[in-house]
Structure 1
Amino acid sequence: MPVSSGLTYDFFSSLCTGNFPSETELIESMDTAVSVLESESSLYRPAADDGTPGGLLDFTGSDVPVIVVPDLHGRYKFLLDLLSSDSSVIRFVPSGMNVLEALGEGLLKIVCLGDGIHSETDDASERWKKCYEEWEHGNFCGSAMCDEMHRNVSTMGIVVELKKAFPENFHFLKGNHENIMNEFGNGNYPFRKFSLEGEITRSFMQYMFGDAVLHLIDCFEKTLPLCAVFKNFALSHAEPVSAFTRSEIINCRKNSSVIEGLTWTPNGSALEGSVVSTFESVNPGAETSGSVWIGGHRPVRGKFSLRQNGSYVQIHNPYEMNVALCSPQNKFNPQEDIVSV
């Protein structure tokens, strides 16, 4: 069923220009987004035992093609370029339409693999160091801080508006950077890479927008799904660290090790066979031969990296704007099905 909202590319582009949104605007937007997540249909998002939204998106009955978007890390231009792409780039898009229009008509789905915030390219390293200097001196509105946070707020602003506009066809999975409180626990760890990114971001958002916005972002993050499964492929932010059952993923809020095990897995840490075993559980009865699990999390060179005898495909290159084109009818070929927007 078409779910066109009438929103245009210019609407989403406008979210990335000008000043930060107001506290009131963010409260209204995030409150609506949380409500959308909490009311997703059990036809594709089975409820947990306690009635809350489960951690699994089940589209095994869908034949709609899927665009898989790896880690964004503040790259709002990545999303904007994707939304404006046409059939010359994304083969799922009908002639005369762009991705946004096809998404609105229900002709495709977009699934983001998480990690919406915290820039991580080489130029970001110097910016984060300057952010730390500003933060250390109590300056939460310095030029470096505002530059970095505008990227993050703009990126997640597009994500939130897309989820609100196209709830059945646009999905964003939780990554390890979806931790606005920079908490230790609930499958989360405080984050730092170039500086104290997690704490700097929390401090800025609290200073700029207040506790109510922080709380709503935290609720949004904790209501995000962890995994999406289709007929012949599955998606999560990170490689399954061990074999998880369908029930464990659906009820992931009861077991923080499931959240950690699908968002924080370092290369080489997953148990051999975890991908195939988890796929068999989330998609019982499916043909596992030729099926793949796609994730991001750890950077790759070029378009992809293969793990677990080719059953796990990593697609996150922070220096390229690559997406994976997945069809429920065809075997995924990383050589041909990963394209740049």
Structure 2
Amino acid sequence: MDIPKDTLEQYLPTIEEFLTSLMFEETDIEVGAFERVEKESSLEKSADTDIYLYARELNSSSDVIVVLDKEWFGLLSSIMLGIEEKEKNEQTIGLLKEFSDDLSEVVIKEAKEQDLEIAFGEVQVLSKEEMEEELMHGEYFWTKLDIEGIADEAVRAEFLLGDPATEIEQKEIEEAEEAEEQTSEQRTEISSLNDEEEEEESEFADFDAGSRSKDGKEQEVVSARHIEFAEFSEDEDSSNGTAHRMDLLKDVELDVSVELGRIELPLGKVLELAKGSVIELEKLAGEPVDVLVNGNRIALGEVVVIDEHFGVRISSLVTTKKRLAKLKNGSS
């Protein structure tokens, strides 16, 4: 299977239109480079800090990989959330999956117009190390894209499509991994034996030196023996380490409250309050209310009514950076 550069370029106008509607900026995409690469070198042009979006094209069983510069974290969050998040977290991962799903729909629609059937599996947001473990083809079609218009400078993106003719069977991957594990275990055993031999030689040298006094006379030798300690198994040692740290906190209950507004009153005014009294708050009508978790503001929202119950629709979230800064300063 050989995919010419012209075939990929047919989709660029559709993708440009999609990015323009999303970013509200006229977008232009140019192919900076295009080549067939081996699996081992498919990711060598990308960085460890890049974003890796991975899915399988189910009809052809091909890897579909989109590599984005880390600047896309801030671009997507500022447009889709109204706040700029520059790091990988739950919010940005959710945004990237939503972005990928929308882009997939655009590509699938364009393919149908060209009488092609495309179906994508679930999109995963991976690190470079995780991506290297998912590669299922011996060769890939690699494309470098230069995207202009959505930032002050051209933003880099890469696209990799696995060649189905070079798909590596899962059995071959497992056998290679098993062989690598055995080789690693053998190296560990040899290293351990060498360390034991060096330790025994050192003990004999110390023992021989200690059996003589400073004047050269032999002294009584005190017999000694090694103490064997039971070794902990890997299962016992890592019983708590394999669990995700955040899983330990998922059943912790937190107090969530909504603050309509507040005001400071002198004690005399408070004592004068009676039934029918009106307290004028500092917050203006129409301003969003504060959503508090354990007294700390995490979001802003608007009051809604749901089946005769009050509710709050989240309009914006306080950034993780700001929340951590407040915690450090000891303020709410």
Structure 2 length normalisation: TM-score? Answer: 0.22
- Bigger strand share: 2
Structure 1 length normalisation: TM-score? Answer: 0.22
